[in-house]
Every structure is written in structure tokens, then in C-alpha cells.
Amino acid sequence: MCDDVSVNDAPFYVMGFIDGIIVRDPDIALKMLTPATRLQASNSLVDTMAAIHAVDPVAVGLGELGRHDGYIERQLKRWYSQWNASKTR
């Protein structure tokens, strides 16, 4: 991570190129990946999401980022509204 804003007017980081495919839809996964590779990728995704959700936002300086109270109630209301907006009558 480069925090020197004189370099790019903003903090930034540089990553190395990793050769591979980008799975943007199920057809790409079915065509380009073996069943074993799809299983490995799926398990890796679940493990990564679990690790992200195990992070304490306050402990990493993100405590003020959003509202923490009433999340489940807000999310359920959002999903219900989205479902009502998309269902066919």
C-alpha cells in the first residue's frame, strides 16, 4: 500500500498479474472448469466469505462506517420490497 499522495494524488496499491479466467456467469464455469475445480472454487469462496464476516469492524477501524443496529430488520424489509417489485401478478 502506498500512502504517499504525491505519487498518485491518492493512496493506492499495485498487484501482480495472475493468469486465469474470470468466471462471470455459470456458462463460463461449466465450459472452462472441471467439476473438481468448480468444487474447489466454491469451497474457497465460502471460506473467504466466512473469514471476511468474522472480522470485527470496530477492531479494524470500520466501526463508524454504517449502522449496526437493526440490520436484520432493514435487510428483510429491503428483500420484501424487492420481491414485491419483481414478482409477476
Looking at residue 89, what is its pLDDT? 61
Looking at residue 40, what is its pLDDT? 96
pTM, to two decimals = 0.57
Residue 61 region by backbone torsions, left for phi larger than 0, else alpha for psi between -120 and 50, else beta? left
Per-residue pLDDT of the chain (89 residues; tens, 9 = 90+): 888 888 888 889 999 999 988 889 999 889 999 999 999 999 999 999 999 999 999 999 998 988 888 999 999 999 999 999 998 76
CA distances from 34 to 9, 30, 37, 58 (A): 44, 7, 5, 40
